[in-house]
Amino acid sequence: MELNWDFFLNFSEDAIFPENFFKENNENTVLEDIITPPESPENFYIEINENTVLEDIITPPKSPNNFFGNENTVLENIITPPEFSDNFFNEPPIELFFQSSVDNFNTYQYNLRKEDSFDDWMSVDTFMYNYCLERGFGYQICRNDKNPNNPSITIHKSYRCSFGGTYKPRKNINQELQRERGSNKFNCQWHCNFTLQKLENQVKCTTLEDIHNHELIPTDIPHLNARYRQFNNEMMQDLKFFTECKVAPVVQLEIFKKKYLQHVFHKQDVYNSIYRLRKNNEEENSDTTSFLNIFLEKIIEDPHWKIFVQHSGNERRLSGIFWMSPSQHELYQQFHDVVLNDNTCKTNKYNMHLSVFMIIENFAM
């Protein structure tokens, strides 16, 4: 490599040379550019035996052209990598609590702040239902205080997350004989309190702890929490109408899904509601049982009563009943020449027909 001696003999006083720029060799000293390779890592070269053949030597990549500049280039403007903090590559800490942020506060339709007021308790219940449903968690009414002088007036009510609290078993039997079951109580801290203000005659939110220790799932909460699958008054009226019309439960379920698109319906919920309606009807409409009990008492008092009962279907429903008192039976034996029959159909609440038999005696009565 040829050197430009004028450059090295006539350099200015301000010229800066890198450390170890010049190197002194043995007898014949030659000035040359010294490029010191980086230090090799430990154990880069492995100790080998006498007969070992060196192979698979890793060759560093070639430097691009003019990487070190021309002959007269002075090494300067060294780029120093930026300093990194100790926790630069550490992952951010995991947030254990889910709290409503101020930025997302306006994205919800139902928002609650401390000191918010409501007209009555019905407004509070309706608001809390929509508020918790929109955010994706269930709730429970854990406190409901009444006025000591007037129990019909509520003065304080507290709501908490359905995952709030911890499970405390009350059983005193041997715990080893019980099976282990999980609990959905995660000791969630979310809760809010409402109090009836005497002077203002309004219900005010006095406490709001808007912190959850579990994930909120607005899209799936109706499937997981039965509170949001309850039937309202309109749905119950439709269910009662379809049940009285003998509509199959599976068909009723499909009708409800088409009519109430925003509501979640489970097959078991529809079946349970139909069962409760039928049970209430049996309790309220016990006329058949009372009617048959009256005739049973008549037969016990006088065996000459003539009673015939007809049932139909697999459920053995009462489809018809015929009765004749002892006095009517005697008159029929005497005056059976002329018998009149009069029928009426679906003129009562049971939609059953009524057939009346009449006879004419010698007095034309």
Separation between Cα atoms, residue 248 and residue 256, nearest integer Å: 13
Helices (H), the chain: 5-9, 121-135, 221-224, 233-244, 249-259, 267-284, 287-301, 326-334
pLDDT for the residue 223:
83
State the CB neighbour count (10 A cutoff) for residue 134: 16
pLDDT for the residue 195:
93
Strands 211-212 and 339-344: unpaired
pLDDT for the residue 179:
65
pLDDT tens track for 10-50: 555 565 555 555 554 445 545 444 445 555 555 544 554 55
Please report how many Cα atoms fall inside a 13 Å half-sphere around the Cα of residue 125, on the Cβ side: 9
Q: Can you list the residues of the chain whose pLDDT is less than 50? A: 24-26, 29, 31-35, 44-45, 48, 52, 54-58, 67, 73, 75-79, 84, 88-98, 100-103
Residue with tokens 């203000």: 197
pLDDT tens track for 272-314: 888 888 776 665 556 777 888 888 888 888 888 988 888 887 7
pLDDT for the residue 158:
94
Residues whose CB falls within 8 Å of the CB of residue 156, separated by 6 or more in sequence, listed in order: 143, 144, 145, 193, 194, 195, 196
Separation between Cα atoms, residue 169 and residue 239, nearest integer Å: 39
Tell me the β-bridge partners of 204: 117, 195
pLDDT for the residue 40:
52
| φ, ψ of residue 325 in degrees (nearest 5) | -75, 165
